[in-house]
Structure 1
Amino acid sequence: MITIQQIQERSIALRDNRTFEMLVVGVIILSALLIGAKTYPIPSAVTQIILWLDVGITFLFLFEIIVRFIAEPNKKRFFHNGWNVFDTLVVVVSLIPIDNSDMALVGRLVRVFRVLRMVSIIPELRTLLNSLVRALPQLGYVVLLMFIIFYIYAAVGATFFAEINPVLWGDISISLLTLFRVMTFEDWTDVMYETMAVYPLSWSYYLTFIFFTAFAFLNMVIGIVVNVLEDEHAKERAEKAEEDGSATLNELRDEIQELKALIINLKK
């Protein structure tokens, strides 16, 4: 008779098995390929095969979620993890037969989001995403400062260049779009040479704007993300060291208990 403890131990072993993890990653990639295949005109027979494969993938995801839930020592904390909640919602919605109903679009969108399960499966991707989320508050101030620079330059551009080319500089909103084109280096020299024909020194307007946005602010964003990523790695190393220390301490306690029991038996 298999006990609950044995089921949990087997679930933990399966969850931590590298082959099983790679199998789930491969199925996620297959799911993404099937989503792409549905966008092409394909024969009805192939469509039926894709539908059956999609059902199989959904049930495999359900099995994987159940394994992770059983392997969790504290079941109440399983849904405290946002990724576990996301994975469960995606799988549950995928199980609902809504392909031939008014909610078919929702079902297709949910299947698209199944590709994001790659992030919840691979720890390195989770670390990258967590670092990006943690960097958002700091990035917000950089984005705000960038918007101020954009707005100032757009106002100047609309004031001086509107008569030269109303399509690019007609008002401040259009000027903002033009400056975004300049910042991404999309044929920005054509825009610059057009205004230089009237204002020969207007090159300084574009070069200073590119320096502030494409160089200075971009490096600031990269620096913030890298700094947060290093903090995240340091945090993971500290947690791992703490877990290893706890495991070593538990082993020492077990050995002490065994020695005590042995001494007691010898005295008897």
Structure 2
Amino acid sequence: MTFKERLVDVREAKWFSNLTTGVIIFYASVLGFKTIGEVESHYAMMLTALDYMVTVYFLVEIMIKLYAQEKTMDFFKSGWNVFDFVIVVITIIPLDNTAIAPIARIFRIFRVLRLLTSRPELKKIIDMLIGAIPSIVDIVILMFIVFYMYAIVGNFLFEDAASGLWKDFLISMLTLFRILTFEDWTDVMYEGMEIHPWSWIYFVSFVVIAAFVFFNLFVAVIIGEMEKINNKDMVDEMHEEHDKIDLILEEMRAMRAEIKELKKTTT
């Protein structure tokens, strides 16, 4: 095996992915300890050394992935690879002793986001969420229309409420969001019923529409995107299996042709 082939094996190996995941989790722990003043003052040198070690590991990892590509520029065809590369490059720029040192420290936090790219399962979840964005946007727009209508009606009905939860349109929107999260929404309803006894219809209908219907719509969209990804993976696997079968059949045809040639030469 050539050196490049060995690097390809390392890049594709499960242990390499698990090692990267472990390093990222370890680095997240280091960042957490740095927020504890007493720990940082006593172990400042050790935490700094660990920070440098993690930086070197990320740099080596990205170099392995770059060199393992058949063509270097192919590495940047993947959005996830570009994401990794940008994070690594930003975090190795020496900005600690500059005027933007606080920003540099914030950039280091983004290293933890590399956990998303080190686990294929997490990549699949993120891809699923990205694929669901168009449908989610449509649901949010529809949800805003419902909020808008109920806020106007709520302001008209309960503007004089003592709590002031409906005194204007914007406050009414916040109140409806509170009801959506079920944060003491019954208290809001009982206050409204003191003004209009039949107003429970308003609150119950909003809870049914906004909390139950829209929540299930979000779940349905996400499940639908997950099924699309799983179906795509199944189709890709089937294509790979068909390619393997075609390759085996071609090899068998070649062997038959060779056997026929051998029979002709022996007779």
Whether these two folds match at TM > 0.5 is yes
Which residue in the other structure is 1:235 paired with? Answer: 232
Which residue in the other structure is 1:217 paired with? Answer: 214
Q: Structure 1 residue 260: deviation in Å?
A: 5.9
Inter-CA distance 250–109: structure 2 relative to 1 (3 Å threshold):
farther
Q: Secondary structure at the match of 1:169?
A: coil
Whether 1:175 and 2:172 are equivalent positions in the alignment is yes
Whether 1:124 and 2:124 are equivalent positions in the alignment is no
Matches within 5 A, 1:19-168: 19-41=15-37, 42-165=39-162, 167-168=164-165
Inter-CA distance 243–85: structure 2 relative to 1 (3 Å threshold):
same
Equivalent-residue separation in structure 2 for 1:253 and 1:76 (angstroms): 33
Q: Unpaired segments of 5 or more residues in structure 1?
A: none
Q: Structure 1 residue 75: deviation in Å?
A: 2.9
Superposition RMSD in Å: 2.2
**Amino acid paired to 2:236:** E
Whether 1:205 and 2:228 are equivalent positions in the alignment is no
Equivalent-residue separation in structure 1 for 2:35 and 2:237 (angstroms): 44
Inter-CA distance 164–76: structure 2 relative to 1 (3 Å threshold):
same
Inter-CA distance 261–109: structure 2 relative to 1 (3 Å threshold):
farther
Q: C-alpha offsets along residues 14-42 of structure 1, whole Å, 9 cap, x if unaligned? A: 11222221111000101111122222213
Equivalent-residue separation in structure 2 for 1:86 and 1:105 (angstroms): 22
Equivalent-residue separation in structure 1 for 2:257 and 2:101 (angstroms): 66
Q: Structure 1 residue 246: deviation in Å?
A: 2.6
Inter-CA distance 24–76: structure 2 relative to 1 (3 Å threshold):
same
Inter-CA distance 49–264: structure 2 relative to 1 (3 Å threshold):
farther
Q: C-alpha offsets along residues 183-222 of structure 1, whole Å, 9 cap, x if unaligned? A: 0001111111112112111111111001011100110111
**Amino acid paired to 1:235:** K
Equivalent-residue separation in structure 2 for 1:212 and 1:250 (angstroms): 56
Inter-CA distance 74–162: structure 2 relative to 1 (3 Å threshold):
same
Equivalent-residue separation in structure 1 for 2:244 and 2:48 (angstroms): 46
**Amino acid paired to 1:150:** F
Whether 1:14 and 2:22 are equivalent positions in the alignment is no
Q: C-alpha offsets along residues 94-136 of structure 1, whole Å, 9 cap, x if unaligned? A: 1111122222233222221111211111111111111111111
**Amino acid paired to 1:34:** V
Q: Secondary structure at the match of 1:165?
A: coil
Equivalent-residue separation in structure 1 for 2:170 and 2:239 (angstroms): 53
Equivalent-residue separation in structure 1 for 2:259 and 2:98 (angstroms): 69
Q: Secondary structure at the match of 1:168?
A: coil
Inter-CA distance 13–173: structure 2 relative to 1 (3 Å threshold):
same
Q: Structure 1 residue 247: deviation in Å?
A: 3.9
**Amino acid paired to 1:209:** F
Q: Structure 1 residue 254: deviation in Å?
A: 5.3
Q: % of aligned pairs identical?
A: 37
Further displaced range: 81-90 or 96-105:
96-105
Q: Structure 1 residue 240: deviation in Å?
A: 2.5
Equivalent-residue separation in structure 1 for 2:249 and 2:72 (angstroms): 28
Q: Which one of the candidate residues 189, 193, 217 is aligned to 1:192?
A: 189
Q: Unpaired segments of 5 or more residues in structure 2?
A: none
Q: Structure 1 residue 166: deviation in Å?
A: 5.8
Q: C-alpha offsets along residues 215-257 of structure 1, whole Å, 9 cap, x if unaligned? A: 0011011101100110011111212222333344345545655
Q: Secondary structure at the match of 1:194?
A: helix
Q: Structure 1 residue 43: deviation in Å?
A: 4.0
Inter-CA distance 62–260: structure 2 relative to 1 (3 Å threshold):
farther
The total of aligned residue pairs comes to 264
User: What TM-score do you get using the length of structure 1 for normalisation?
Assistant: 0.90
